Amino acid sequence: MTIVTGSHLIAKTLKEHGVDTLFYLTGGPSFDIISGCEELGIRTVDFRHEQAAAFAAHAYTRITGKPGVVTASSGPGTLNLLTGIYAASVDCAPMIVLGGASAVHERGKDTFQEVDQMGIMDPLCKFSHRPTQASRFPEIVSMAYRKSVSGRPGPVYIDCGVDVLDEKVDVESIPPYSATLITSKPATENHVINKVLDILLHAKKPIIFAGGGAFFSGASEALEELVNTLQIPFYTSPMSRGLIPEDNPFSFPAARSTAMREADAVLVVGSRLNWMMSYGDRFNPSAKIIQIDLDESELGHNKSLELGIVGDANTVVMQLVDEAKNRIESANISSNPSWVETLKMKEKDRQEKNHSILNSDQVPIHPLRLCKEISEFLDRDAILVVDGNEILHFARQSIPTYYPGHRLNSGVTGTMGVGLPYGLGAKIAKPDKQVLVLHGDGSMGMNAMEIDTAVRHNLPVVTVVSNNEGWFARDPQWKRPGRELGFTEFDEMAKSLHGYGEKVVKPNEIKPALQRAFDSGKPSVVNVHVEPTAAGVSKAWTGSGSEQ
Is residue 264 located within the same domain as residue 128? no
- Is 180 part of a structural domain of the chain? no
- Is 233 part of a structural domain of the chain? yes
CA 25 to CA 126: how far, in whole Å? 23
Q: What per-residue confidence (pLDDT) applies to 544?
A: 32
Is residue 194 located within the same domain as residue 121? no
Is residue 102 located within the same domain as residue 215? no
Q: What per-residue confidence (pLDDT) applies to 334?
A: 60
Is residue 160 located within the same domain as residue 224? no
Cα dist. 32→28, 287, 456, 512 in Å? Answer: 9, 56, 21, 46
Once rounded to an integer, what is the mean pLDDT over residues 197-212?
Answer: 96
CA 5 to CA 10: how far, in whole Å? 9
Q: What per-residue confidence (pLDDT) applies to 545?
A: 31
Number of Cβ within 10 Å of residue 80's Cβ equals: 18
Q: What per-residue confidence (pLDDT) applies to 479?
A: 81
Q: Tell me which residue of 207, 212, 275 sits closest to 243, measured CA to CA.
A: 212
Is residue 252 located within the same domain as residue 318? yes
Is residue 207 located within the same domain as residue 159? no
Give pTM, 2 decimals. Answer: 0.94
Read off the pLDDT of residues 148-183 as tens digits, 9 standing for 90 and up. Answer: 999 999 999 999 999 999 999 999 889 888 777 667
**Which residue range(s) make up the domain with 318?**
190-343
The domain boundary residue, chosen from 285, 312, 343 = 343
Answer whether residue 337 shows pLDDT above 80: yes
Cα dist. 87→84, 90, 207 in Å? Answer: 5, 5, 28
Is residue 485 located within the same domain as residue 393? yes
Mean pLDDT of all residues belonging to the chain: 94
Is residue 43 located within the same domain as residue 116? yes
Is residue 503 located within the same domain as residue 410? yes
Is residue 152 located within the same domain as residue 233? no
The domain boundary residue, chosen from 316, 343, 370 = 343
What is the DSSP secondary structure assignment for residue 546, as one 8-state letter? G
CATH code, domain carrying 215: 3.40.50.1220
112 class by beta-carbon count within 10 Å (0-12 exposed, 13-18 middle, 19+ buried): exposed
CATH code, domain carrying 406: 3.40.50.970
Domain count of the fold of the chain: 3
Read off the pLDDT of residues 67-87 as tens digits, 9 standing for 90 and up. Answer: 999 999 999 999 999 999 999
Is residue 161 located within the same domain as residue 199? no
- Is 206 part of a structural domain of the chain? yes
Once rounded to an integer, what is the mean pLDDT over residues 482-496?
Answer: 96
Once rounded to an integer, what is the mean pLDDT over residues 248-265?
Answer: 96
Cα 213 to chain centroid, rounded:
12
Q: What per-residue confidence (pLDDT) applies to 186?
A: 92
- Is 162 part of a structural domain of the chain? yes
- Is 348 part of a structural domain of the chain? no
Answer whether residue 542 shows pLDDT above 50: no
Answer whether residue 546 shows pLDDT above 60: no
On whether the CB atoms of residues 465 and 525 are closer than 8 A, the answer is yes
The domain boundary residue, chosen from 343, 378, 395 = 343
Is residue 161 located within the same domain as residue 69? yes
CA 312 to CA 149: how far, in whole Å? 13
Read off the pLDDT of residues 350-376 as tens digits, 9 standing for 90 and up. Answer: 889 989 999 999 999 999 999 999 999
- Is 182 part of a structural domain of the chain? no
Read off the pLDDT of residues 276-313 as tens digits, 9 standing for 90 and up. Answer: 888 888 999 999 999 999 999 999 999 999 999 999 99
Query: What are the strands, taking DSSP E only, across 53-184?
Result: 68-72, 95-101, 127-129, 155-161, 168-170
Q: What per-residue confidence (pLDDT) applies to 182?
A: 66
Q: How confident is the model at residue 333 (pLDDT cuts 50, 70, 90)?
A: low
- Is 470 part of a structural domain of the chain? yes
- Is 185 part of a structural domain of the chain? no
Answer whether residue 543 shows pLDDT above 60: no
Number of Cβ within 10 Å of residue 2's Cβ equals: 7
